[in-house]
A and B are shown apart, each in its own frame.
Chain A
Amino acid sequence: MNKTELVIFVKSLSQECEVKEGRQFAEATVPASSLHSLAVQLREKEVCSFDFLVSITGVDYGQDLGAVYHLRSTKHGHMMVLKVRTNDRENPHFDSVTDIWKSADFLEREVYDLLGIKFTNHPDLRRLFLDNSWGFPLRKDYVDDINIVTK
């Protein structure tokens, strides 16, 4: 499917999500509550079959925290982007997709480690690179007087 067809198809799957044609890929923004159910449909439906999770990127947008999922179908060769956002900076959490794509295990742990976004139902959510004494360095409000030089 091309970009336009994907936008129409994803819109038909879920009423709650906003779908638009991005520069490169179809981009769907879903509320955190329906992330998992949409991901399952994108994985299972024969016409799209997104079976390869390319990457999960945690992003600090300033006010909001979010995660960006790049999905690819090895069968059809198309790609799309799935975005989810939350404005809860104290206790941000999304549903884990480890049961759908196994590669999400490490990718979600990385996001948790660097941005402090929790993934519910993740089998083993621990910090990956840093130990517990660190904050979450990829957040924009992270302060480190010694190692970050501000001009």
Chain B
Amino acid sequence: MEEEVKQTGINEQEEYIINMGPQHPSTHGVLRLVLSLKGEVVKNVEPHLGYIHRGIEKMCESITYQQIIHLTDRMDYLSAHINNEAVCLNVEKALEVEIPDRIKIIRTIMSELTRIQSHQLFWASFGMDLGGLTCFFYGLRDREKVLDIFEETCGSRMIVSYNCPGGLMYDIHPNFQKRVKEFLKYFRKKLPEYDQLLTGNVIFRERTVGIGKLSLEDAISYGVTGPSGRASGFSCDVRKHEPYSAYDRVRFNEILFTEGDTFHRYFARIQEMKESMNIIDQLIDNIPEGPYAVKMKPVIKLPEGEYFQRVETARGELGVYIISDGNKNPVRVKFRSPNFVNLGVLNHIARDFKIADLVAIGGSLDMIIPDIDR
């Protein structure tokens, strides 16, 4: 009998290879992880990418700058507005266009609303990954309120495409300010529920505190940005270091922790929602009158040269690098997407934890697969 068991390999000490994904609910998309296991302990994680690689960078080489905006929505679809803004800022910087205050302030408010709804969905799905289905309903319930504001002003709920080089596609809806204030009032009451449901929950804490620790040196070396990096103490908030749009005229705190574990990656996002609400508070009553877009030429040609612009999306630092030869199409566009770089750290922090912890760690990095594959 013992001989038989040995032959089938149950008691063997070798590593066991298993596929997680591409259709696994906790990977939030089509990401395939090949795991080497020893018992239940993860010894190596190897991501296999490309299931929704659409070649966005190649497509950008044959279209105009106005058209690129619509592709950037499809990368990180939860930070659609911020991605648009990155390309617009880069084009405006290259053309040296002066942007009026009204546009800057509306862009900042919309960016922060985008960040709030993204973190709401993170909270919802992270709770669900760890077995708390109530979170999913609560998170989506509140996110609908933001999406309704988007729908009224942008005509679209998620893939907004509200920016264009030189300003905004159209003016804000007359109800915009009223509805944003209503939402802030509503969400300030609801945010403590998030803490009651998840942050203080004993089971949740057992599964997240001390799991998947990332040190400050490794966070910088692996280039982990956004709330995931700031949970390790990596001060990488582009809004603070290189303020764009109206971030230089608002006061907010950069959320920094030093622990760098799964719990603090989660908690940084909860705190960021509060900061985002503070930013909107300071701006919503101060939208000046004026045009919603600067008049631009119908065909935009960037002067010959190279342009780099960084913005802070809900997941980290998005860099847009454009090389132009003076024609209406760029020679090369590179998107330094935060998720792609953040994924590189997964093997490092998930090693020697159990498979169930890998789900928690992967969830806390808040991965969006279309942003990884592009």
Contact = CB atoms under 8 A, between A and B. Distances in A.
A103 interface: yes
A25 B344 contact: no
Interface in B102-138: none
A137 B218 contact: no
B306 interface: yes
A57 B223 contact: no
A143 interface: no
Contacts of A148: 62
Contacts of A23: 305-307
5 contacts: A52-B236, A60-B332, A101-B221, A103-B341, A129-B53
Contacts of A102: 218, 221-223, 344, 348
Contacts of B53: 129-130
Given A55-B334, A128-B49, A129-B50, A74 B235 contact: yes
Interface string A110-127: 100010000000000000
Q: Which range contains the number of B residues in contact with the other chain? A: 35 or more
A106 B341 contact: yes
A31 interface: no
Nearest to B58: A137
Interface string A128-144: 11110000011000000
A148 B218 CA distance: 41
A24 B307 contact: yes
Contacts, number: 78
A1 B242 CA distance: 15
A107 B372 CA distance: 11
A74 B220 contact: yes
B317 A54 contact: yes
Contacts of B292: none
B336 A55 contact: yes
Nearest to B341: A103
A20 interface: no
Contact of B344 (A52, A54, A106, A138): A106
Contacts of B321: 55, 57, 68, 70
B308 interface: yes
B373 interface: yes
Interface in A78-106: 81, 101-103, 105-106
Q: Which range contains the number of A residues in contact with the other chain? A: 20 to 34
B223 A103 contact: yes
B65 interface: no
A23 B324 CA distance: 13
A129 B49 contact: yes
A81 B336 CA distance: 14
Nearest to A25: B308
Interface in B125-155: none
Contacts of B62: 148
Interface string B55-86: 10110001000000000000000000000000
Contacts of A81: 306, 308
A146 B21 CA distance: 30
A110 B340 contact: yes
A59 interface: yes
Interface in B42-59: 49-50, 53, 55, 57-58
B131 to A, nearest CB: 31
B231 interface: no
A24 B336 CA distance: 17
B245 to A, nearest CB: 18
A106 B334 contact: no
* Residue from B62, B241, B306, B317 with most neighbouring chain A CB atoms (10 Å): B306
Contacts of B222: 102-103
Nearest to B336: A55
B33 interface: no
Contacts of A54: 223, 310, 317, 319, 336
Nearest to A55: B336
A74 B343 CA distance: 20
B234 interface: yes
A107 B14 CA distance: 31
A52 B221 CA distance: 6
B180 interface: no
A70 B373 contact: no
A51 interface: yes
Interface in B315-338: 317, 319, 321, 323, 331-332, 334, 336
A66 to B, nearest CB: 10
Nearest to B310: A54
B336 A130 contact: no
